[in-house]
Amino acid sequence: MAVLLVTNDDGVHAPGLAALAEALAELGEVWVVAPEREQSACGHALTLHRPLRAQPAGERRFAVNGTPSDCVNMAVLGFLPERPVLVASGINHGSNLGDDVTYSGTVSAAMEGTLLGVPSIAVSLAEGGDLADAARVARLIATRVLVGGLPPKTLLNVNVPPTAPAGIRFTRLGHRVYSGKVVEQVDPRGRTHYWIGGGAPTWEALESTDMGAVHEGHVAVTPLHLDLTNHRALAAMHEWSPALTAQLRGERGTASRRRPPKA
């Protein structure tokens, strides 16, 4: 039976993790390797300065003292009995829409799986939504990925609305703008501290975006590509190269003439 890896960023005891593992159990042998505690908004961090430990937390279930990306890296590169055919991250408590994907530990776990060559999905549920709805969606998407695969360097970011889904839409990422993002406060000892994320977000045009789909009661499925190169800009910037190279050589020659002779 094929091995499936399930992880998250809400921690090994999160209800969403249990719901996702149960939903995928009919598709293969599910192994859970997840952070021992919440790691929300940790991004794509890897732990390199200390050893990682995996503590048993049930049958084929382990708690790791690291990030979601750590969990996927460990699991795919040798911790599991065989290489998984799918990485599923979630079900996250709260949406991961638009620019949130750059911060999300949930999405980053799927990114790590993709970088390691394993088809990967990230599943998030808007606050107030039903885990049962999200679990059904996750099983549908996972089944399709297992059958048809995904393009190279591509993962699926799935967001389930807070109401019973009216359907499934394939979308692009939206763009979020914050106002009043940093809140300054003073503690009882008179020391200033700051909270990030204090402002309410506004969204740009919602048409065809993940945020627009969720706002209208649909599941948003966004294919994310890990090649971050702006190829159009790269083509335009090739013409910068000769002038910049000439300037660099000129400055290097000037610096060489200014360098004092060795004693």
Average pLDDT over residues 72-89: 96
pLDDT score for 208:
93
- Give every CB contact of residue 10 below 8 A, 6+ residues apart in sequence: 16, 17, 38, 39, 40, 92, 93, 106
Residue 202 in this model has a pLDDT that exceeds 70:
yes
The per-residue pLDDT for 178 is: 65
Q: What band does 195 get if pLDDT is binned at 50, 70 and 90? A: confident
Q: How far apart are CA 189 and CA 48, in angstroms?
A: 35
Within 10 angstroms of residue 105's Cβ, the number of other Cβ atoms is: 27
Q: What is the DSSP letter of 240?
A: G
Query: What percent of the chain has pLDDT above 90?
Result: 79
Report the range of poorest mean pLDDT among 77-91, 152-166, 173-187, 209-223.
173-187
Within 10 angstroms of residue 136's Cβ, the number of other Cβ atoms is 16
* Residue 225: predicted pLDDT: 97
Q: Three-class SS of residue 220?
A: strand
| Rounded Cα gap, residues 30 and 114, in angstroms | 18
50 or 198, which is more confident: 50
CA 81 to CA 196: how far, in whole Å?
41
- In whole numbers, what is the pLDDT of the chain averaged over residues? 92
The per-residue pLDDT for range 141-175, each reduced to its tens digit, is 999 999 999 999 999 999 999 999 999 999 999 98
Per DSSP, the residues of 74-102 read HIIIIISSS--SEEEEEEEES---GGGGG
Q: Residue 184 pLDDT more than 90?
A: no
Of the pLDDT bands very low, low, confident and very high (cuts 50, 70, 90), residue 199 is low
By mean pLDDT, which of 54-68, 78-92, 148-162, 200-214 is the weakest? 200-214
Evaluate if residue 257 carries a pLDDT over 70.
no
- Residue ranges and CATH numbers for the domains of the chain are 3-174+209-230 (3.40.1210.10), 175-204 (no CATH)
CA 110 – CA 105 distance, rounded (Å) = 9
Candidates 16, 11, 9, 12; CA nearest to 135 is 16
Could you tell me whether strands 120-125 and 154-160 are parallel, antiparallel, or unpaired per DSSP bridges? parallel
pLDDT at 103 over 60: yes
